[in-house]
Structure 1
């Protein structure tokens, strides 16, 4: 039976993640309601604007349910804004911005510069070399004891993992590199 994976579908790289997951044999649910969280085996929090995603989750009364599911062990992959949402603490939150407090990490938003500084690089991860797009990417500035660093760029932490979560600063779904998604599916 195929794994049913949700993609939080309010904004950001929803289609790219859904296409990649389908290509890896998953059934994909575009998650827009809290009730859908009970129908999935794992979830992707895509890139986009983290403060906007936070406001939408609260407006649609999904934030607490999503945080609870993730803290109970629902496998999750957070890319870019998704990584920001998974953090315990943000160094530079937008006014009123909250996180889901899933990973024991601190994150700084837009650490790799503005959108015009976006770049595609091949980076070394614990899973092998990954072709990664960095777009206004965040940086992990503190890693808790329960967190494994899976990727660095110039000494800066851009990928972390925990038993049921992967968080990355970059966008492999935009380059077509399925390495990280395959590792995520191993958690599901």
Structure 2
């Protein structure tokens, strides 16, 4: 069977035969269609890269693919939950440390450091951050706008915000302190 799977034509046949059912199966575990498709592709990629791990004496191909996909789906869910918990911890800490006076927000937005920080982000991060916060897109809308998965959109926003935070913190701490003369 290994030789059959490593042949592109046979691999394509296996994909066409099993992918739809596998997407349905993964969709019962992960509700996000894009993430479910990613998991299905990862299962087939596992088959393509390591056909020797599939043993037809132990299971048929559909069962083997379901096992791989199930493990990957659970890994994705755990990763998303950990990411969400981390974002909540960081968000709560940052939220508590900020004075939310609207004048402060306006001043913060117009600061040269913020514009410089945005300019230092990668194009992908800058697009994600500006669409998410300036255009007020939801994460799902952001993913659709950028034509990426929801998890990729979240990662780009999180990484962009962390890089922006580092830049703003560096810019704030490296500015010279102005002293006034006392009479």
- Which TM-score applies when normalising by structure 1? 0.20
Larger proportion of strand: 1
- Which TM-score applies when normalising by structure 2? 0.20
Larger proportion of helix: 2
